[in-house]
Chain A
Amino acid sequence: MTPHPETWLTPRPEGLWCAPGGFHIDPTRPVGRALITHGHGDHARSGHDAALATPGTIAIMRARYGQDAAGSLQPQGYGAPIRVGEVDVTFVPAGHVLGSAQVRLAYRGSVAVVSGDYKRRPDPTCAPFEPVPCDVFVTEATFGLPVFRHPPDGEEVGKLLHSLEVFPERSHVVGVYALGKCQRVIALLRRAGYDRPIYLHGALQELCDLYVRLGVDLGDLRPATVADKAALKGQVVLAPPSAIADRWARRLEDPVVALASGWMRVRQRAKQRGVELPLVISDHADWDELTRTLADVDAPEVWVTHGREEALIRAATLQGRRARALSLVGFDEEEGE
């Protein structure tokens, strides 16, 4: 008889544990062997003895953590199964950020897929999500409420371009998360025909360089030197979300403060962040994508984690699936958004 995934895949304080494989997935504390879905800080921690991840994720971990990333880092490309302990492991594109993967786990004829973070809409900077049939689908639920419906990316980038027209004298400081969002916003601007230089806060430089080395074209990027305010007038300046409200951004002349995040969908939240131009651009699936993915994957059972579980459990139940919350600790809802 094939064992139900709940007998071999279990939540532990340090993360999701697969006993027959002898590994954790995205553990929040250093462990012996870890599978890493993608490079965001709340998924890829440093200090594991051994880590298995896609080549893209490994490059990101090396860039972020240097030599301390892990005792050993083993790259494994998309689509090719590898046996770990008694479990066959396959990385499948998740469409979240460069290198991001879902993990397909097969053990004695029973299959579970751990989505990690994912989205369904096209992203010029990473491979698109692929639905994989399974017995249990473990899904994220960052935007697990029906109010979260991200508008088309083009419309949101259009808002930024329109604002540049209306306020040609003002610097437009856009808060973006350093990994993924930053490069995606640049790529979307380029797609929309914006070919002027884009200025980067120092904290964003390294990962942009990495994306370029890995073959993602980002156009003319320049360091944003706040000292030279005049050069930044009417330009797009990208900065980490933490920098847009602090002294760094205030040293610019009368900046328009924008923030690219799925949370910007709710006005109160945008206002709370002091944002003048909210851009609803997210690297996570919105509500429609989440519920569509449950239907596409069509697993009889769904475990929900990493966000607002209750509503997505309700939606899965209304689709006729068994669903429950998987309580994992240590994930940060702002991380990666």
Chain B
Amino acid sequence: MKPFARLLDALIFTPARNGKLALIEDYLRHAPDPDRGYAIAALTGDLSFARAKPALIRGLVEERVDAELFRWSYDYVGDLAETVALIWPEADSRADAPHLSAVVERLHRAGRSEVPALLAGWLDALDSTGRWALLKLITGGLRVGVSAGLVRTALAGFGKVEAAAIEEVWHGLAPPYRDLFAWLEGRAPMPAVTAGTGFRPMMLAHPLDEADLATLDPRAFRAEWKWDGARVQLAASGGAIRLYSRTGDDIGPAFPDLVAALAEAGPLHAVADGELLVARTDRDDLAPAPFAELQQRLNRKSVTAKMASERPAFLRLYDLLFEGAEDLRGLAFGVRRTRLESWIARDPRPRIDLSPLVAFDTWEELAALRAKAREDGIEGLMLKRADSPYVAGRPRGPWFKWKRGPLTVDAVLMYAQRGHGKRSSFYSDYTFGCWRPRTDGEGRELVPVGKAYFGFTDAELVELDRWVRNHTVNRFGPVREVEAGLVLEVACDSVQRSTRHKSGVAMRFPRVSRIRWDKPVEEADEVATLERAIPA
């Protein structure tokens, strides 16, 4: 574990691409099999095993450290894995630190109930960097600034082969990649290319900067609606059907109704890219329900029959990566799209439909369509170059996401809480409210409608923090209640009904869009304004 932990730690601090490549190649030269293969899989997001939820990790640490001291520390550090790694008591004598491969293989076999004891034992045996790496690994978010593409480049550099050769064999291989290393070290021939139900790293889009539209040729692009669901990759081979999330987790087990419906219609052999959505039950066609309905299902690992019938899931496909064993990813998007359409026409399945193209000639025309789109399930537009091959990662240029304009409300700042990490000395998390008539009929009262952590500049944060400190009326631990005296213009993607909030509404992705130092609080919006924005 130690060499792997050192590698992750060094990668985090090394800004330059060449430096990162050198570090990975150096690691590959020194680490043994199967450790290095698992390390590669960890970096590319291709490992799968029983993950540990943050709550489990908190539980373990609170058995060992005073809860109050832990809370203050977490508040300061801002990252759970790092806080726990740093605060975990050092054992007087350590057991031998486990190898990365031992950790991965043990977790792979482990049932969910075994994870806490395994994790605690390893944390006792590791030093703080090792603990940090282990926790990052087991919670599934390494975030060390390394893309799968960069890892493959490092593999190419290590084996002195072309990067394209790595790309070609990559998807047929599985961790710990013994055949790959045997080939790269000249001990075996190049592994055969195969299809199957493995996860293929997804192609991702950059947010569109509208100023860039002038430089883009509308004729070179195709547009689709951007659906407000969860991006998934359907990988089916014979009887096996997987639904991979963007991070490569198989979420199929949480959607047995969908998987069963797909399988019932006969063997399926393809890899496709699309949106996982919940269908409205009051319509006969597949019409997306609000995101909150899908969220209900994404939050759980297993599903009841009731949940599955009230919130039936379906797939809306927009790309085809493999048809049978044929790899289409090198083809242009326009070609893949035609293949997708004819494949769906030839072999229609319940719970699958096609995400239609949005026809347009000019960007102005498309902008107008985007502005009008307010119905459920549409988050904006996707722009894809017709000539773009499907490549892993987030290349700049071929794909853009163009989200629709946000809703805004004027709300009143009610509570402020200290932030995390570098913001831990500032009151940077704001709860804001809107007006509603008091139940006793006497005038109006403020009720919280949401919480926002961002949208302001660092300079504005300093001003907000000062305002909070000067207008505090009450303190509850890290939270300050402030007097009703400042209006924040808050933008959000949508408004939903909520039973958790006293106001009965919840905003999706709220962020502070402007600080209205000028606006009297009496002129802030009413809860009723938000209710009107809830999709029917």
Contact = CB atoms under 8 A, between A and B. Distances in A.
Nearest to A147: B86
Interface string A304-333: 000010110011001000000000000000
Contact of B69 (A265, A268, A276, A314): A314
B397 interface: no
Contacts of B76: 145, 147, 266, 308
Size category, B interface: 20 to 34
Interface in A291-315: 308, 310-311, 314-315
B73 interface: yes
A298 B522 CA distance: 57
A267 B128 contact: no
A314 B128 contact: no
Nearest to B12: A267
A107 B47 CA distance: 67
A268 B66 CA distance: 24
A125 B83 CA distance: 32
Nearest to A162: B6
A148 B72 CA distance: 12
Contacts of B78: 268
B86 A265 contact: yes
B422 interface: yes
A275 B10 CA distance: 11
Contacts of B73: 145-147, 311
Contact of A266 (B65, B82, B90): B82
A260 to B, nearest CB: 15
Query: Which of B76, B82, B127, B422 has the most chain A CB within a 10 Å cutoff?
Result: B76
A82 B266 CA distance: 95
A202 interface: no
Contacts of B14: 276
B66 A276 contact: no
Q: Is the interface of B mostly helix, strand, loop or mixed?
A: helix
Interface string B262-297: 000000000000000000000000000000000000
B26 A166 contact: yes
B336 to A, nearest CB: 39
Size category, A interface: 20 to 34
B406 to A, nearest CB: 29
A271 interface: yes
Contact of B86 (A149, A271, A272): A149
A229 interface: no
A269 interface: yes
A277 B69 contact: no
Contact of A268 (B87, B128, B422): B422
Contact of B68 (A275, A276, A314): A314
Interface string A236-272: 0000000000000000000000000000011111111
B15 interface: yes
A114 to B, nearest CB: 25
B77 A318 contact: no
Contacts of B79: 267-268
B72 A276 contact: no
15 contacts: A145-B69, A145-B72, A145-B76, A147-B73, A147-B76, A149-B90, A149-B128, A151-B128, A266-B77, A266-B82, A267-B12, A268-B77, A268-B82, A278-B13, A308-B76
5 closest A-B pairs by CB: A147-B86, A268-B421, A147-B73, A146-B87, A145-B73
Interface of A: 145-149, 151, 166, 265-272, 275-278, 308, 310-311, 314-315, 318
Given A272-B422, A318-B66, 20 more contacts: A145-B69, A145-B72, A146-B73, A147-B76, A147-B83, A147-B86, A149-B86, A149-B90, A149-B128, A266-B76, A266-B86, A267-B12, A268-B77, A269-B422, A271-B13, A275-B13, A276-B14, A310-B72, A311-B73, A314-B69
